[in-house]
Amino acid sequence: MVEHRPLLKFVSHAVLILGAIIVAFPLYVTFVASTLSLEEILTVPMPLLPGNRFFENYAQVLTAGTTTGSHAAVGSMLFNSMVMALVVPLGKISISIISAFAIVYFRFPMRNFFFWMIFVTLMLPVEVRIIPTFKVIADLGLLNTYAGLTLPLIASATATFLFRQFFMTIPDELAEAARMDGAGPMRFFFDVVLPLSKTTMAALFVIQFIYGWNQYLWPLLVTSEESMYTTVIGIKRMIVGSDAANEWNLVMATAVLAMLPPALVVVLMQRWFVKGLVDTEK
């Protein structure tokens, strides 16, 4: 639209700015709270300008955790979260791209059956299968391990389906040309399919990184040792008992730390994202 109507422009900007403020305000309060002392937070009303305990608060959570709640250092929690947020998407992408490749490019018996098997699992949310999954992981002795934390989340129907849809848009002639050139299936996969899937992979990585980072229910079940807590679980474990008993300044500092990596990933990968959407190399 190239309409030029000043009033419309003003109203639309006002609405957008208001929306941004509404969304950003809780984040701001979180940040402010993380720079105050506990006493300052508990005063009514809570100050809305940053305090002077920024370094103390962050240093304490990173190295020692809270004193009343969990004592696990957030530093190691961040590491655990990072492991989970990296292993889950990388594992997901590598497994589903290979399964999608098999389903699209190979004619094997019951191909459609297997595809539908994978597809049907889309309909089962994590919560439905969480007890049997827990039992399996427990029986395998994987509680409180990185494997136990990540393995069940790696299998993914969504990613397989996405890659399948993408592969089906690659012209058949390309596969045939590669066959003519003497490329075997795996050669075709690495030389042609993989480079063409780069943008799809980037998109999936971003989505799955956030998914892995924000996991709550599963890590809550499989981790009971403080050293295996992820950041999100850490926040939960820091909150104990009544309102006044919690060190909210430390909890808020942890929350800010928990929000940073996903935000960074989105910001840094955004250019890639857009580039991938703009020039489809097909």
Residue 176 contacts other proteins per CB under 8 A: yes
Instruction: State the residue for tokens 């929350």.
Output: 255
Burial class, 39, CB count within 10 angstroms (exposed 0-12 / middle 13-18 / buried 19+): exposed
Nearest distance, CB of residue 200 and other proteins, angstroms: 13
Reading the block at residue 70, the tokens are 């969990």
164: Cβ contacts below 8 Å, ≥ 6 apart: 100, 103, 104, 115
Q: Which stretch binds other proteins (CB under 8 A): 34-42, 82-90, 151-159, 169-177?
A: 169-177
Q: How far apart are CA 271 and CA 110, in angstroms?
A: 41
Q: Which stretch binds other proteins (CB under 8 A): 96-104, 168-176, 216-224, 230-238?
A: 168-176
Residue 168 contacts other proteins per CB under 8 A: no
Reading the block at residue 208, the tokens are 């799955």
* Residue from the set 38, 42, 62, 192 that interacts with other proteins by CB under 8 A: 192
How many residues bind other proteins, per CB under 8 A? Answer: 19
Reading the block at residue 155, the tokens are 């299998």
Q: Are 170 and 193 in contact (CB under 8 A)?
A: yes
* Residue from the set 129, 181, 245, 263 that interacts with other proteins by CB under 8 A: 181
Work out the number of other CB atoms within 10 angstroms of the CB of residue 63.
11
Residue 278 contacts other proteins per CB under 8 A: no
Is 11 or 274 the residue whose CB approaches other proteins more closely?
274
Residue 45 contacts other proteins per CB under 8 A: no
Q: Are 39 and 261 in contact (CB under 8 A)?
A: no
Residue 202 contacts other proteins per CB under 8 A: no
* Residue from the set 9, 71, 129, 187 that interacts with other proteins by CB under 8 A: 187
Residue 281 contacts other proteins per CB under 8 A: yes
Is 141 or 171 the residue whose CB approaches other proteins more closely?
171
Q: How far apart are CA 271 and CA 269, in angstroms?
A: 6
Work out the number of other CB atoms within 10 angstroms of the CB of residue 255.
22
Q: Given the rule CB under 8 A, which residues bind other proteins?
A: 171, 173-174, 176-183, 187, 191-192, 195-196, 279, 281-282
